[in-house]
Amino acid sequence: MIAAAKKIWRCHRRPSRRRYRKAVERTAEGAIRQSHHSRASVVLAQTPQGFQYSVIKKAFDEAAADGFMGTDEASLAERSGHEVAVVMGSPRNIKITTPADMELAEFYLQTSAEPSN
């Protein structure tokens, strides 16, 4: 990811794809499944996302000036007119927000083999 970001300056990671992904819409009552998408057309963004400072600073400044709330840094960079490259990531790249996430991260650290994508 870092090497790719240095080369192209705008990228984010994605885990390996599964066969199909469900698209959902959030509503006041919860989430409603809308459709299924072939894995060939779906990319799941992960963190970290890497950008050249001047690119992402400009993107954040423009969004703030317009009152725009992006979904992530990549959406801001795209809105600012920059292409964003996708770099293969790992399904083990998890966000740790709960004790269960920490347990999973500890398990991953104890096992050295990376799963096949």
- Report the alpha-carbon distance of residue 25 to residue 41 in Å, rounded: 18
Query: 55-80: per-residue pLDDT in tens?
Result: 999 999 999 999 999 888 989 999 99
What is the model's pLDDT at position 23? Answer: 59
Give the predicted TM-score (pTM) of the model: 0.56
Q: Does 15 have pLDDT greater than 70?
A: no
**Strand-pair category, 10-14 with 46-51:** antiparallel
Pick the CATH number of 2-91 from 3.40.50.1370, 3.40.50.300, 3.30.50.10, 3.90.550.10: 3.90.550.10
What is the model's pLDDT at position 85? Answer: 85
- Report the alpha-carbon distance of residue 54 to residue 76 in Å, rounded: 13
Each domain of the chain, given as residue ranges in start order, spans: 2-91
Q: What percent of the chain has pLDDT over 90?
A: 32
- Report the alpha-carbon distance of residue 13 to residue 85 in Å, rounded: 9
